[in-house]
């Protein structure tokens, strides 16, 4: 284990050096130079080591740089939040549109996999007008899944069935 591979350890070491330089050597300018040498330290990491009364001119530029960096980070977060809000609005609109969507299945329409009448079993109607029995579709999809994915689908199906049974029978 080398310090180069452990950012937490590296930061602790840089902090110890900075603390020594500030508290023992009383060299604030040298401590500020550490900030440019270390990609792990920021001005707020070493501020607690400064004496109560210190000339702010010695590290004004570092404080300004830190504030500018925080401002950029905040702007990035704002953009991300705006994008997430727009995506959520689009998803809500899509869900609302899907609630009003409907399709028709004729009495003689057949499952596109087994060719039996669709209306004799639980079925799915897709927007492209394909109709599949639920069990036929499950078998077909399972052919293309890994063992882990098939197990997950089976577990989810069992949970859905249990919740469906519970909701039909009411609270126990």
Which of 40, 34, 41 minimizes the C-alpha distance to 7? 40
On the question of pLDDT at 54 being above 50, the answer is yes
Residue appearing with tokens 């500018």: 68
Per-residue model confidence (pLDDT) at position 170: 58
pLDDT in tens, 137-170: 989 999 999 999 999 988 988 888 888 777 666 5
On the question of pLDDT at 1 being above 60, the answer is no
Query: Structure pTM?
Result: 0.42
Per-residue model confidence (pLDDT) at position 168: 63
Mean pLDDT score of the chain: 84
């Amino acid at each position: 284990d080398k310090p180069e591979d452990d950012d937490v350890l590296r930061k602790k070491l840089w902090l110890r050096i900075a603390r020594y330089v500030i508290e023992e050597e009383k060299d604030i300018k040298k401590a500020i130079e550490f900030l440019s040498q270390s990609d792990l330290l920021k001005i707020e990491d070493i501020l607690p080591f400064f004496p109560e009364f210190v000339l702010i001119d010695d590290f004004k530029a570092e404080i300004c740089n830190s504030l500018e960096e925080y401002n950029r980070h905040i702007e990035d977060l704002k953009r991300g939040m705006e994008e997430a809000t727009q995506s959520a609005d689009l998803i809500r609109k899509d869900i609302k549109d899907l609630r009003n969507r409907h399709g028709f299945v004729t009495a003689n329409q057949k499952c596109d996999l087994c060719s039996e009448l669709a209306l004799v079993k639980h079925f799915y109607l897709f927007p492209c007008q394909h109709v599949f029995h639920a069990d036929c579709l499950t078998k077909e999809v399972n052919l293309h899944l890994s063992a882990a994915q098939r197990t997950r689908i089976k577990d989810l199906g069992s949970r859905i069935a249990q919740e469906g049974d519970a909701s039909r029978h009411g609270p126990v």
